[in-house]
Amino acid sequence: MTTGDVPRGTFPTTYFTKENPWYIINNAFIEYESRDRKVWKTMLDIKFVRENPDVVRQNIRNKFQDAKLPLVDEVIALDLRNREIKKEVETLRANHKKASKQYGALRAQGKLEEAEKLRAEDAASEERMAALSAEEKQVEADLKQKMMIIPNIIDPSVPIGKDDSENV
């Protein structure tokens, strides 16, 4: 299912399966969870927030939820940190893979001293990778929590009232 398959402002009538728990509709993620019932959760797509922070801020103002305005900057900062962590972890994994091959080659050539030195350097890299993975999980959890608080975008056809009581 793609965004174009669903009329604007509507959600699909069927629930999700555990094998496919995500759909993207109107720049919102919809997640399926189950505890003897079906639950819908919606949130904006992080890419949309990253590319259109002013639109998201204006939408929050239009909903008269100004207390949520700082969340946009927090989400963008968390997303940036999350992407930095992922990039560093990928780099460390690539270096680990390369070091493993070099270690095997050095052992085959009988250069045990160099191989053990390489192994010690790689162990430090593995510890850094483990620490970054733990931080990544925490950052992703914080990011998801904050994203769930940011309200969805108001449909352009909805009139904006003078205050919260006039918004329908």
pLDDT higher at 164 or 152: 152
Query: What are the distances in angstroms from CA 151 to CA 14, 71, 77, 148?
Result: 23, 11, 18, 8
3-state secondary structure (DSSP) of residue 32: strand
Sequence-ordered list of residues with C-beta below 8 angstroms from that of 17, at least 6 positions apart, any chain: 32
Lowest mean pLDDT among 11-20, 59-68, 141-150, 158-167: 11-20
Contact 49, 72 (CB under 8 A): yes
Record the pTM.
Answer: 0.67
pLDDT higher at 79 or 8: 79
Q: Please report which confidence band the pLDDT of residue 167 belongs to, taking 50, 70 and 90 as the band edges.
A: low
What mean pLDDT comes out for the span 91-110? Answer: 88
- Closest CA relative to residue 6, chosen from 25, 30, 34: 25
Q: Measured between alpha carbons, how far is 156 from 141 in angstroms, rounded to an integer?
A: 31
Q: Which amino acid is present at 29?
A: F
Q: What is the pLDDT of residues 53-76, one digit of tens each?
A: 999 999 899 888 899 999 999 999
